[in-house]
A and B are shown apart, each in its own frame.
Chain A
């Protein structure tokens, strides 16, 4: 028991997440040069970034080890606030077609 817990201690247990984060960053660079159209590129970049962020929050920041109530109190509220900021987009498209200068 003690031996197995010692083996699992230290940074070695985070190495798979570390490698996954490096690989996801590499994937983003690859996608940038993959000649996707802009919308598809943005969607794929954001998907990869959100996956990286989720890995970092759950394993590096140990959210996976906290109580579930902690996760459900903080993360959905933050995501809601960030989503509400998306209301600006229609105006940015309007500006593109109705440039005042």
Chain B
């Protein structure tokens, strides 16, 4: 074997090292991103708890109708979209391209429905007079914390829908692999997981009770 051939083999050997944890590096990177994002949401939710505890006049504005009903529908939509995303992952792993793209399309539609319901919920709050630094009910910090937590989540949902569109297009054209679909699915499930904490802490802990 010539020297150049040897160096090529050596050069490639580093790239061919077995992946730690026996998973593709793309998937590992997505997990690391998810964990760092979990800390971002954790910090926001803890800051929300801090402000809420330190404010004796924290508003409890969420009525059964429309807010809690909307949020419940949004939860069902998001959990269902996680299920359809699993359909895309399964289909892509078994090489059923058109089926995988169809499941991705359904997930995108559900994500878009969630985002629209979320924007409608925001519009209702704004109509009732909630702004970033004022609201008609109590602590002026309510609006800032509500819009930043739900806004960051909404941003994740919208980014996820766009990412799914890009992945579906690339996967159907053959430029992206089933691994890309799986990594996107991990992100989407994480978005679902965060919502499971946002709903009880932001909405359900602040429901309006009849006097």
From residue 1 to 45 of chain A, which have CB atoms closer than 8 A to chain B?
9-11, 14-15, 18, 21-22, 24-26, 28-29, 31-33, 38, 41-42, 45
Candidates A15, A48, A66, A82; contact of B200 at CB < 8 Å: A48
Listed by A's residue number, 10 A-B pairs whose Cβ atoms lie within 8 Å are A11-B84, A14-B83, A18-B79, A18-B82, A18-B83, A42-B205, A57-B193, A61-B190, A88-B47, A92-B53
Complex alpha-carbon distance, A25 and B196, angstroms:
8
Q: For A89, what are the chain B residues with a Cβ–Cβ distance below 8 Å? A: 49-50, 53
- Could you tell me if A70 and B196 are in contact, using CB atoms closer than 8 angstroms? no
**A67 CA / B50 CA spacing, docked (Å):** 37
In the complex, what residues of B have CB within 8 A of residue A93's CB? 53-54
Residues of B within 8 A of A53 (CB): 193, 196-197
Residue B180 lies at the interface, judged by CB distance under 8 Å to chain A: no
B90 interface hit (Cβ, 8 Å): yes
Chain A residues in 8 Å Cβ range of B46: 85-86, 88
B interface, how many residues as a size bin? 35 or more
**Counting CB contacts under 8 A, is B76 at the interface?**
yes
- Known contacts A22-B76, A69-B21; A32/B207 CB under 8 A: yes
Spell out A's residues near B (CB within 8 Å).
9-11, 14-15, 18, 21-22, 24-26, 28-29, 31-33, 38, 41-42, 45-46, 48-49, 52-53, 56-57, 60-61, 66-67, 69-70, 73-74, 77-78, 81-82, 85-86, 88-89, 91-93, 95-96
Q: A32-B205, A49-B196 are in contact. Are A82 and B38 (CB under 8 A)?
A: yes
Residues of B contacting A: mostly: helix
Contact B204 A45 (CB under 8 A): yes
For residue B204, give the distance in angstroms from its CB to the closest CB of chain A. 4
**At the interface, yes or no: B15 with Cβ under 8 Å from chain A?**
no
Of B50, B79, B201, which one neighbours A45 at CB under 8 angstroms? B201
13 more contacts with CB within 8 A, not counting A9-B90, A56-B82, A67-B23, are: A18-B83, A21-B82, A22-B76, A22-B79, A33-B64, A38-B205, A42-B205, A57-B193, A69-B21, A78-B39, A89-B49, A89-B53, A92-B53
Do A28 and B50 form a contact, CB below 8 Å, given A18-B83, A69-B21? no
Q: Which residues of A contact B76 (CB under 8 A)?
A: 22, 25
- Asked whether A92 and B90 contact (CB < 8 A) given A32-B205, A81-B39, A85-B46, the answer is no
Q: Which of B122-146 contact A (CB under 8 A)?
A: none
Q: Within 8 Å CB of B186, what residues of A?
A: 61
Interfacial chain A residues near B53, Cβ < 8 Å: 89, 92-93, 96
